[in-house]
């Protein structure tokens, strides 16, 4: 997992130069969710490691891209606070994810943890993509509003 996570981080710069960060975020959320869900059908340690490693590759780009968008949304005077709040919310999310996993394990078993978590991650990418698309449309509209005809 860590090797593919590192490869994902290293390749983010190249990917960002080829694809918009908004699209990269959607891809990262969707494929991270898909490969997390695939862990639920793994029948060997090797297949589980492969699925989890590919998940790590896609996961590696989510936080840097979201921090980039937060930084772009906020004025320079508020960026540190905004990014700090975002990072704190990730820690709260980690606690919630562990509670979700523990309760799912108790009720449904280990495979359900992967299938349910993967579905939630994949679905989380859709509102993020939609919100960023709307932000971009508003920016383009305000840019054109002040432009000469």
- Both structure tokens of 95: 């606690």
- Both structure tokens of 63: 């936080």
- Residue range 44-79, pLDDT digits in tens: 999 999 999 999 999 999 989 988 888 888 888 988
pLDDT the model gives residue 149: 46
pLDDT the model gives residue 101: 94
Give the contacts of 52 (CB within 8 A, at least 6 positions apart): 1, 35, 36, 39
Residue 134: pLDDT over 80: no
* CA dist., res. 39 & res. 64, Å (int): 24
* CA dist., res. 113 & res. 31, Å (int): 17
Q: Is the dihedral of CA 20, 12, 121, 71 positive or negative?
A: negative
pLDDT-derived band at 139, boundaries 50, 70, 90: low
Length of the chain: 149
């Amino acid at each position: 997992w860590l090797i593919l996570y590192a490869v994902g981080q290293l390749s983010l710069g190249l990917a960002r130069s080829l694809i918009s960060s908004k699209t990269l975020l959607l891809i990262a959320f969707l494929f991270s969710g898909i490969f997390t869900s695939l862990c639920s059908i793994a029948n060997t340690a090797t297949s589980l490691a492969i699925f989890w490693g590919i998940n790590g590759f896609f996961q590696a780009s989510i936080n840097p891209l979201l921090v980039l968008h937060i930084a772009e949304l906020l004025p320079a005077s508020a960026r540190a606070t905004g990014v700090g709040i975002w990072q704190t919310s990730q820690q709260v999310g980690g606690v919630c994810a562990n509670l979700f996993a523990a309760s799912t394990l108790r009720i449904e078993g280990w495979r359900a943890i992967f299938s349910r978590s993967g579905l939630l991650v994949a679905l989380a990418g859709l509102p993020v993509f939609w919100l960023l698309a709307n932000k971009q449309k508003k920016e383009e509209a305000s840019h054109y509003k002040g432009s000469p005809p």
